[in-house]
Amino acid sequence: MSTAIEAIVSNHMHVKTIGISFIANLACGLNTNKITDEEVQIGAIKSKENLTKLLILAIETAYKAIK
């Protein structure tokens, strides 16, 4: 939600930072229907496996880089 601010602060502190965004539904105005919590949850569930694989790969890569 406020990831940009945290990234700016961590950069200022010379902390290596990575940002990953997860979009579970169309933004307001891009869909003519009202967005429901259920639609957001369904989108998250559908993408759970791919997001998990991405995070594991990112963590493994970062860990190898600092070794």
pTM (2 decimals)? 0.58
Confidence category of residue 12, pLDDT binned at 50, 70, 90 = very high
Q: What would the pLDDT profile of 16-49 be if each residue is shown by its tens digit?
A: 888 887 777 776 667 777 888 888 888 889 889 9
The CA distance from 11 to 24, in Å, is 27
Question: Under 8 Å CB-to-CB from 44, ≥6 apart: which residues?
Answer: 22, 24
Reduce the DSSP state of residue 34 to 3 states and report it.
coil
Q: So what's the pLDDT on residue 29?
A: 66
Domains of the chain by residue range: 23-67
Q: What would the pLDDT profile of 46-66 be if each residue is shown by its tens digit?
A: 889 999 999 999 899 989 998
Rg (CA), the chain: 16
The CA distance from 53 to 58, in Å, is 9
